[in-house]
Chains A and B, each alone.
Chain A
Amino acid sequence: MKLTRWSLLPLVLLSCSARAEDLNKLSQDPAQWVMPARDYSSTRFSPLDQINAGNVAGLQMAWTFSLGETRGQEAAPLVIGDTMYIVSSWPNKVFALDPVTGELKWTYIPHTDRAAQGVACCDVVTRGLAYDDGKIFQVTLDNHVIALDAATGKELWATKTGDINLGETTTAAPLAVKGKVFVGISGGEMGVRGRITALDENTGKIAYVAYGAGPDQDVLIGSDFKPPYDWMKGKDLGVNSWPQGAWKIGGATMWGWFSYDPDLNTLYYGTGNPGPWNAEQRPGDNLWSSTLFARNPENGQAKWAYQFNPHDVWDHDEIQRNVLVDLQIGGANRKVLLHPGRNGYMYVIDRETGKVLSADTYDTVNAYKGVNLETGRIEPNMDLNPSLNRTVQDVCPAPPGAKDWQPTAWSPRTKLLYVPHQHLCMNFKASEASYIAGTPYVGATVDMFAGPGGYRGEFMAWDPVQRKKVWEIHENFPVWSGALVTGGDVAVYATMDRWMKAVDAKSGKVLWSFHLGSGSIGQPVTYRGSDGRQYIAIATGVGGWPGVVANAAVDPRVRNGALGFTGAMQDLPTYTQGGGELVVFALPKSSSAQAAPTQPQPEKR
């Protein structure tokens, strides 16, 4: 038994006080995986290279663990010290396991309200846990934020941050930054008033709330606010860009991802769609929906904001992962943010100012005509503009966009962004929607279907400097899982029709695949066990918005079901059923012994 550096970590952690820096440092340790995106920059890159393009073909299953739920599993397992943590879909049980043997250490079962399932728009998923300072932070579908002792699973505090009777649920993974836990709120299809909430890590007390719409003092827009473009300047635009009172029920939720830049001390996240989908009920730009926010995490004050989709008409949330990287663009080293938009454009944004440097389509797009880099405004295709009761046909991308929640991965070795996404078009008809608190506020009949070429999903590598696709793999179904890329130049993803795949990060050649028990919409992670072996773990269990047709009482014969996603997914039940399970892979013991464990190297962004 080797005594490795990280096995002492729990001891080190006990004495920690200046936490954010420590968590940042902790995230650089290749052996561990301490937040859903592995690091604050959201790269999902691990320098581990024991499993590499040369030997990944021999990958084998090491152990599995049933999550006990049959709905969609979107959470990333975390590996901290010698413990792995994972959270299930509703009722959001937390499990602590031995990352090498799979031994169960403890289970935490929250009393999550059963009725919360009825107001969760797109399966009863959760996207993961957060960790800091010896505590695991979880969110429940019924809007509780809970801190657990990472060692024992003992509940330390629980705070309620939302009300299911207003249609509010919480599905976004929390993130710990500088002693605060950040959580979002879901319910853009329920007329929720979107926001993020910052809670004190130690007490669970709410430090502040930053709303996605409303007066400046609610959105935390003050004197520090410097928007990159003139049309986002003005007082109380979160009120004035809506019809009277509509901002109170207008969505602009946050159910995706936070990123954080410790050097700039800036928290980045995007907001969701404005509600209802029927845009005729909310004339105006509907700020700050579909907007990227840069905030000071200490007081929540906005530094800048950029609205991707003013007056969104297609449910194009922009809550995707924002990957923070430094790139050589135009001869200069730029601090940028990569954002594969739900609208089908790959944005490269200056993360100090919010200016768009480039925006290029990465999938079939006819709903928009382009992004004007002078004004920063996207130009909608008015020929397809839906108006009441008129069916517009063949609109691409569909409401889930070219990419939905799926976490991307960035390799500093290949300088490519690995993007799992979908390839769908739709027919769309707007109708009137009544706001009734706690019920859907949508007003659209949608029918999605496979885009041109007949395939529905794609895993691709994108070069943000050359602004082009380097390679792509077409998949039958939307690639709803996250991506992982490693120092061994292996990119990993999984499909809804039960395939787990490892591909060459440079060429996109499929090197290994494995038939899982259920389709996967999970986030693959990798870590090194105390035995020196590199492991790859992922949660299976088909579901999410596209997957409910296979894991719940949804009729595949009615195309407009599941907010229109049934149309595109109706044959999924012939490939898979629901079933949540954690699956862990490693190279066979003999071959991993041959491959000498490499020393952890300082990670470069």
Chain B
Amino acid sequence: MRSRAAIPALLALSGSAQAANRPLDYLKPGGGLIAREIWPLLWGLLGVGIVVVVLISALVLVGALRRRGEAAGAGLIETHASRWIGIGVGVSTVVLFGLVGWSTAITARIATPPTPSAFTVEVRAHQWWWEFTYLNDNPQKVFTTANEMHLPVGRPVRFLLKSDDVIHSCWVPTLSGKTDVIPGQNNVAWLQAERPGTYRGQCSEYCGKQHAHMAFAIVADPPELFERWRARQLRPAPATSGEAAQGAQVFGMRCGICHRVRGGLAQGRLGPDLTHVTSRQTIAAATLPNDPAHLSAWIASPQHFKPGAYMPDLGLSGQELSEIRSYLTTLE
């Protein structure tokens, strides 16, 4: 099941190997509509900035190296100086206003999506992971996932950004700019992926000890694949048997106070919703790959990988660990 979801991601990765190696490379126009819009602005401002730095440095150098004798004749200096100041201020003003106008035009253009949003995702930033709730007018079609969200290619998706603790910032460099996530204030953003692929997001406002390990993945799927993914996410957890059933019980006792699995009585909200954890590519906020070995290691000692995170070392026995793992692998 996992591999099916991963195929488009792999295709996208092989198509742009460089992007995969540098998932936060915002100097290239990425796969997002917003990223493409702001890319010229980025380079334009950078270019102007470089020109200004070079010009000023050169003038400073010239001024410093010029011999005192050449500056003789006070009247000359005065008349020339005022003219030069006038020219400098004039040119700067024109250039600055031009840039302000340009920036305003572009930010105004990307303030709202060109077509109506496909849907709204409530993005909730926690210390130190991300929660995504797909809103829907039909409450039965609302579901929550963590640290990995899927969206359909070519459709804008609206983000409602909320924080439960401190200020975070949501940034998917190859798709869009940053938007701060502030407790008590609902910020709104949107993004649209133009190409299928996996895009890395990152918290970009220092938010505590594990700020660096607070990343997420956005998987852009072709629409029909996305719909399949959404339908699967809407399913509650399946019934279990054997070791997995044992694991479900241990999970309820040892993990259910913090984690949630839809369909069971584990309804904790401190940690991520794990209803479909096995369908995700990474765990621990895109810190570790999601394979049985890393999953076991993470559950056994989260404090080793993310010291200071709210998930404590539970002191599970080998058997408990194995049972929990086999339960989690049924949550596809």
Interchain CB contact (< 8 A) of A435 among B139, B162, B268? B268
B33-64 near A? 1/0 per residue, CB < 8 Å? 00000000000000000000000000000000
Interchain CB contact (< 8 A) of A434 among B142, B143, B163, B258? B258
CB distance from B2 to the nearest CB of A (A): 23
> Would you mind naming 19 contact pairs between A and B with Cβ atoms under 8 Å apart?
A239-B140, A241-B139, A244-B236, A245-B262, A245-B263, A246-B139, A249-B267, A282-B139, A283-B142, A387-B162, A387-B186, A388-B124, A388-B164, A429-B184, A434-B258, A434-B267, A436-B257, A436-B267, A437-B265
Indicate whether A390 sits within 8 Å of B267 (C-beta atoms), given known contacts A283-B139, A436-B257. Answer: no
- Determine if B23 is an interface residue (Cβ-Cβ < 8 Å): no
Interchain CB contact (< 8 A) of A432 among B164, B185, B257, B265? B164
Q: Which parts of B128-156 form the interface with A (CB within 8 Å)?
A: 135, 138-140, 142-143
- What are the residues of chain A within 8 A of B186 when measuring CB–CB? 387, 390
Question: Looking across the interface, which residue of chain A has its beta carbon closest to that of B256?
Answer: A436
Q: Which parts of A222-260 form the interface with B (CB within 8 Å)?
A: 239-246, 249
How many A-B contacts are there with CB distance less than 8 Å? 61
CB distance from B172 to the nearest CB of A (A): 22
A389 touches B183 (CB 8 A): yes
CB distance from A524 to the nearest CB of B (A): 43
A367-393 near B? 1/0 per residue, CB < 8 Å? 000000000000000000001111100
Report the Cα distance A388→B186, complex, angstroms.
Answer: 9
B162 touches A240 (CB 8 A): no
Question: Looking across the interface, which residue of chain A has its beta carbon closest to that of B265?
Answer: A437
A432 touches B163 (CB 8 A): no
- What are the residues of chain B within 8 A of A566 when measuring CB–CB? none
Q: Which parts of A531-556 form the interface with B (CB within 8 Å)?
A: none
Report the Cα distance A258→B236, complex, angstroms.
Answer: 37
B267 touches A435 (CB 8 A): yes
A245 touches B236 (CB 8 A): yes
Interchain CB contact (< 8 A) of A284 among B139, B143, B270? B139
A432 touches B269 (CB 8 A): yes
CB distance from B286 to the nearest CB of A (A): 22
A240 touches B257 (CB 8 A): no
CB distance from B182 to the nearest CB of A (A): 9
- What are the residues of chain B within 8 A of A243 when measuring CB–CB? 139-140, 142
- Determine if A433 is an interface residue (Cβ-Cβ < 8 Å): yes
- Determine if A273 is an interface residue (Cβ-Cβ < 8 Å): no
Report the Cα distance A244→B142, complex, angstroms.
Answer: 8
Given contacts A388-B162, A432-B164, A434-B258, 13 further A-B contacts (CB under 8 A): A240-B139, A243-B139, A244-B142, A244-B143, A244-B263, A246-B139, A284-B139, A387-B186, A389-B183, A434-B257, A434-B269, A435-B267, A435-B268
CB distance from A167 to the nearest CB of B (A): 12
B257 touches A244 (CB 8 A): no
B181-192 near A? 1/0 per residue, CB < 8 Å? 001111000000
By a beta-carbon cutoff of 8 Å, the part of chain A in contact with chain B is 239-246, 249, 282-284, 387-391, 429, 431-437
Q: Which parts of B239-294 form the interface with A (CB within 8 Å)?
A: 256-258, 262-263, 265, 267-270
A436 touches B139 (CB 8 A): no
- What are the residues of chain A within 8 A of B143 when measuring CB–CB? 244
B139 touches A434 (CB 8 A): no
CB distance from A441 to the nearest CB of B (A): 9
B109-141 near A? 1/0 per residue, CB < 8 Å? 000000000000000100000000001001110
Report the Cα distance A330→B281, complex, angstroms.
Answer: 67
Interchain CB contact (< 8 A) of B262 among A244, A389, A429? A244
B164 touches A433 (CB 8 A): no
Indicate whether A390 sits within 8 Å of B184 (C-beta atoms), given known contacts A243-B142, A284-B139. Answer: yes
B268 touches A431 (CB 8 A): no
- What are the residues of chain B within 8 A of A284 when measuring CB–CB? 139
Question: Looking across the interface, which residue of chain B has its beta carbon closest to that of A283?
Answer: B139
Question: Looking across the interface, which residue of chain B has its beta carbon closest to that of A390?
Answer: B184
B258 touches A431 (CB 8 A): no
A389 touches B163 (CB 8 A): yes
Report the Cα distance A436→B163, complex, angstroms.
Answer: 22
Question: Looking across the interface, which residue of chain A has its beta carbon closest to that of B183?
Answer: A389
